[in-house]
Amino acid sequence: MRRHIVRIAIQSLTFTVALCAQTSAPGLRFEVASVRPGAAPKADWDGQGPPVLTPARRVSGLRIDYSRETIKTMISQAYGIDSRLIVGPEWVSKGEDEFRVQAVMPKGSTAADLPAMMKALLEERFHLAVHRIDAEQSGYALVIAKRGHKLKPGRDVEESECKGSDWSAAMESTGVCRMSQVVDDQTVKTTLSRGGPNGPILTRTAGGETHTEFYSITMARFADLVSKLIADFDTRGYGPTTAPVPVVDKTGLSGQWGVFLDKNLGDDRLSSVSESLGKQGLSLERITVPTVKLVIDHVDKVPVEN
């Protein structure tokens, strides 16, 4: 019995030592960091010529300069989570706070180290404490309509599709062709890109209408694009403010496919997307999607002095 108690005590001590080592081990941190309330001027202008806008985020080598960051956007970057899935105090949710963050990363650091350094900065300067919770939210399933789909197998873009003066040369050097022409008293702008994570893409804009063709894309990636397109955006242009609307691929189609999306300026995004999908034998069905939210337990309004 005594041996059993001793063994438990040793195991408990070992676990405690390991836990302490884990929590006290030095992590990735900025070499130097300055956090000041308020924001840098939106523009640098001496009164001569047009104003020069100051980028909100600027990264040069190991130096970073964030001129108009909110607590919410910094937490989003630090934890790799959509800012709309962060739950916290009202002042954090509204994003009324703004900070100027200037920092230098240690030598040998890469962009992949930035989130961990931002996390350490938030914990040290704002005493941030968070935890994650499992949650559910309303979303959509991308499915094939009852009469079947009308999609064509994915393909690569051909050089002959890069029409117009110097289009082929542009495609060869940059992978992107652009053209603007007037058709029936309306300016039509066309952009054709050779590749990327979503394959070759053609975008044609005329007036308030935009037609986008994806030459070769997986249904999973297409579902993700639809999700972003139907999200509600902040009128200030800072991005979505409501919880993202997840769209899950349930088509059962593997491989690459050719699809398109039409969008009319001023139209309800969901209606516009649904109409485009319907023309291709696809549709959206309401479902409940599991997700994870980040809950803020504590965060200071004013950072610790530099």
Report the run of H or E that residue 118 belongs to, with start and end: helix 114-125
pLDDT tens digits for range 228-250: 887 654 333 334 445 568 899 99
β 186-193/176-183 pair status:
antiparallel
Q: Residue 171 CB: number of other CB atoms within 10 A? A: 18
Higher pLDDT, 246 or 283: 283
- CB atoms near residue 21 (< 10 Å): 9
Percent of the chain with pLDDT over 90: 39
Residue 27 has pLDDT above 50, yes or no: yes
Tokens at residue 146, please?
Answer: 């009852």
DSSP output for 246-263: -EEE-S---S-EEEEEEE
Number of H helices, E strands in the chain: 7, 16
Q: What span, in angstroms and rounded, lies between the C-alpha atoms of 178 and 193?
A: 9
**pLDDT of 106 strictly over 70:** yes
User: What is residue 7's predicted lDDT score, i.e. its pLDDT?
Assistant: 43
| CA atoms 136, 137, 138, 141: torsion sign | negative
Question: 270: pLDDT confidence band, cut at 50, 70 and 90?
Answer: confident
24 has a pLDDT exceeding 60: no
What are the residues facing 182 on neighbouring strands?
Answer: 187
Confidence of residue 254 (pLDDT cuts 50, 70, 90): very high
Among candidate residues 286, 258, 291, the one with its CA nearest the CA of residue 143: 286
- CA 187/CA 167 separation, integer angstroms: 18
Torsion of CA 12, 14, 15, 16, to 10 degrees: 90
**Which of the pair, 185 or 41, is modelled with greater confidence?**
185
Q: Could you tell me the maximum CA-CA distance found in the chain, to the nearest angstrom?
A: 94
| pLDDT, tens digit, 9 for 90 and up, residues 71-90 | 999 999 999 888 888 999 99
Rounded Cα distance between 280 and 225, Å, is 16
Range in 48-57, 122-131, 169-178 the model is least confident about: 48-57
The confidence score (pLDDT) of residue 230 equals 79
Residue 43: pLDDT over 70: no
Query: Of all helices (H) and strands (E), which one includes residue 197?
Result: none
Q: Regarding beta strands 247-249 and 129-144, do their DSSP bridges make them parallel or antiparallel, or are they unpaired?
A: parallel
Return the residue matching tokens 């350490």: 120
31, 104 contact by CB (below 8 A): yes
2-6, 29-33, 121-125, 286-290: range with highest mean pLDDT: 121-125
pLDDT for 268:
67
Task: State the pLDDT confidence band at 19, using cuts at 50, 70 and 90.
Answer: very low
Predicted structure pTM score? 0.59
Helix (H, G, I), strand (E, B) or coil at 57: strand
Q: Name the phi and psi angles at 180, rounded to 5.
A: -130, 130
Residue type, 245: V
CA atoms lying within 13 Å on the CB side of residue 20: 6
